Amino acid sequence: MQQFTLKSESDGTPSKKNFLDQLNEQQRKAASHVHGPLLIIAGAGSGKTRVLTFRIAHLLQKQHALPSNILALTFTNKAAREMQERIQHLIGDKASGLWMGTFHSIFSKILRFEADRIGFKSSFSIYDTSDSENAIKLILKELNFDPREIRPRTIQYKISDAKNQLIKPAMYKQRFVQSTLDDITARVYEIYSQRLKLANAMDFDDLLIKPIELFEDHRDVLEKYQDKFRYILIDEYQDTNHAQYKVTKLLAEKYRNLCVVGDDAQSIYSFRGADISNILDFKSDYENAVEIPLEQNYRSTKYILQCADSIIKKNSKQLEKTLWTDNADGDVVTLIENFDERDEANRVVNYIHDMKLRHGFNNNDFAILYRTNYQSRVFEEAFRRKNIAYQLVGGLSFYQRKEIKDVIAYLTLLVNPEDEQALLRIINEPSRGIGNKTLNDLLKRARSTGMSVWKILGNVEDADLYKPAKARIGEFVEMINNLRDLLESGTSLLDVTKKVLEKSGYLKALVQDGSAQALPRRDNVLELQNAIAYYQQNNSSAKLANFLQEISLITDTDKYDEDKPAVTLMTVHASKGLEFPVVFIVGLEENLFPMGPREGEEANYEEERRLFYVAITRAQKKLFFSYSKLRYKFGEEQRQARSRFLDEVDPGVVRTETGATIQQKNNHYDSGDSHSYNDREIEYDWKSPKQTKKPSSTASYEYEYDDDPFRVGVHVMHPAFGPGKILQRNGSGKDARVVVFFKSRGQKTLMLRAAKLQVLH
């Protein structure tokens, strides 16, 4: 990325020299624009963050606005922090007081101030995806639906989509019910909205749609924030959804000083509601809008840029621009052909090992990008075998671990005891003798009276429960109330957390647990204390509600540490906004990348192509493509067709390296040979080598056929496909395959050694 430096005066303050002189002509036009709507079409690596930073600094330096008059909306907390630091570097203390952050963080802050205007308390909880799914699961059970048949995640997705389209429960019920699933969604949506209100809670989508309700129902509040935010800047505008479009349109309608930055070629989030028409139609929405393209790329070599351009030109819907660069030609793109995913992982890791030795690259210079999270496993195994450090971005978040969510639930109750999900999570964690029957009775009473579960607990003597259960509930309520009093007395967050762990018995239960997972869980809880201590140290007036809000809005990209000496593994979606000297794009196969049709929907190849473009443009110096000819899916070995995108790339910038034969690959696996196949230009031998039968006394794929339980006619259970019946059996030993008919998925051919079948007796 283009760098900037400022000479400093002797007192350490930034130079008085006009910092806009550091920009190229197009960047300078965008940064110096002051009044009226502005559309900046910023191609990959063209310095869009730099332009946003300099534009804000220019507005402040020339006194067009006070810091509090500027609202800058980003898509990651990391981007907001980076911009804040750069502006501080440019103009010093004049930058303090800016409203800068993600859509969710900024509007949750506004909602805290104005909560009472829409019937909430300022202490409202924020439900993450798992909290929402749990709440929906409970509602499904109450409506007598089996969550194993009607998946809570599916309902949650449909409700989220409706919210982002600003469709309320009543409207959904009246106009959008076209199937049984829609009817169930409508019923759940209505109850779910009521439950959130009763629990004084909002989900992620509410943080965007509740401000719209606030502004439309309370014109005085809207005018207050219109006058406050006279200049609005939005990064990654191509990824905004309808709710984000609407709320910023409301805020900008008075002064019309709306600056949006984006690249339609990098619009990759339609699956979560992003609407590319927001950027394509910007000039129609805002008359007299100025459009400025940023086309000079500072990130990538000419060959990488030529490769990216040849791909994105295949899309039909796009704003006109052509990226160019003064950078060197660089190396052509290397296409690696592999036998299977294990071969792919080994060869990619060997490339990394060789480049570190020969060219002096560091671990954190490399990124491996894939389409779906499950692809990381074989790469993780290969890195461990090679003893190369790696970091996985997008795996299980620290704050999503069970023990951390448990402790967070305790802390949430101290701020918002009405939060039903937090309460149900820890009322019997660790076990305090409040069983499922008691909880079900409490829930029934809450539903019949319309009261929150917490209020029912506060009047537990009136409930029809056994005396021992009433006593245990009373002790729990007393403990929470005492801890709330401790928090309100001004006790530090860290000391309150320690008391929570002590009084609840949670840490003691972990210490006494003799399982192998107990020690790591205890260490995670202690690490949470470190996080709270750090937050407290860096916030003079640290409040528990603010800490809980901050951690609830952490994204995968925020967890990426660019300074960690480790190779980065992440999905292409997670890589957005990042850059690496060397990038490997793996799994370039049909129905993987591009992803094929899913659940009755048509494949969106234009968006998949944009996603491929994003992956390519993360690379600065070297770029590798990789695909496998075979891949295991649900335990079944399947032939793969190379991605159509590989045939769309300009052939003049790609060279191909083919793989070894199957026999050579077997020898490679058996011997543990770690040498790469970089110098081999040979085609695959698709003839399988003979396998030797291996008798065994255990019920597994190595049974001789006569003793094997997996016979024709046997009923089996598959972890993904469910129950089925074996129709045919071929091969033996490690080559043993069965043809199984599954009620839900039809006929499948599976390898016994990988299918994890269980015989149903």
HEC-encoded secondary structure of 28-75? HHHHHCCCCCEEEEECCCCCHHHHHHHHHHHHHHCCCCCHHHEEEEEC
Question: Which residue in the list 27, 28, 48, 240 is annotated as catalytic?
Answer: 48
Q: How many whole angstroms separate alpha carbon 259 and alpha carbon 693? A: 69
Residue type, 90: L
Query: Could you tell me the two tokens for 471?
Result: 């006593």
Question: Which residue in the list 26, 49, 238, 318 is annotated as catalytic?
Answer: 49
Query: Could you tell me the two tokens for 128?
Result: 């993450």
Question: Which residue in the list 86, 521, 618, 748 is annotated as catalytic?
Answer: 618
- Residue 618 designated active-site: yes
Question: Which residue in the list 131, 133, 203, 235 is annotated as catalytic?
Answer: 235
- Residue 49 designated active-site: yes
Q: Are strands 636-639 and 630-633 parallel, antiparallel or unpaired?
A: antiparallel
Query: Could you tell me the two tokens for 317?
Result: 């819907």
Query: Could you tell me the two tokens for 609?
Result: 């192509």
Question: Which residue in the list 22, 26, 185, 266 is annotated as catalytic?
Answer: 266
HEC-encoded secondary structure of 129-197? HHHHHHHHHHHHHHCCCCCCCCCHHHHHHHHHHHHHCCCCHHHHHHHCCCCHHHHHHHHHHHHHHHHHH
> Whose structure tokens read 């079900």?
440
DSSP-assigned letter for residue 125: E
Cβ-contact 758, 717 below 8 angstroms: yes
Cβ-contact 302, 330 below 8 angstroms: yes
> Whose structure tokens read 């290397």?
334
- Residue 48 designated active-site: yes
DSSP-assigned letter for residue 319: -
Cβ-contact 628, 341 below 8 angstroms: yes
H or E, element range at 668: helix 662-671
For CA atoms 591, 594, 599, 604, the dihedral sign is negative
Residue 367's closest CA among 611, 594, 615, 555?
A: 615
Query: Could you tell me the two tokens for 217?
Result: 């129902």
For CA atoms 631, 633, 635, 638, the dihedral sign is negative
Question: Which residue in the list 114, 128, 205, 236 is annotated as catalytic?
Answer: 236
Beta bridge partners of 622: 582
Residues with catalytic function: 48-49, 235-236, 266, 618
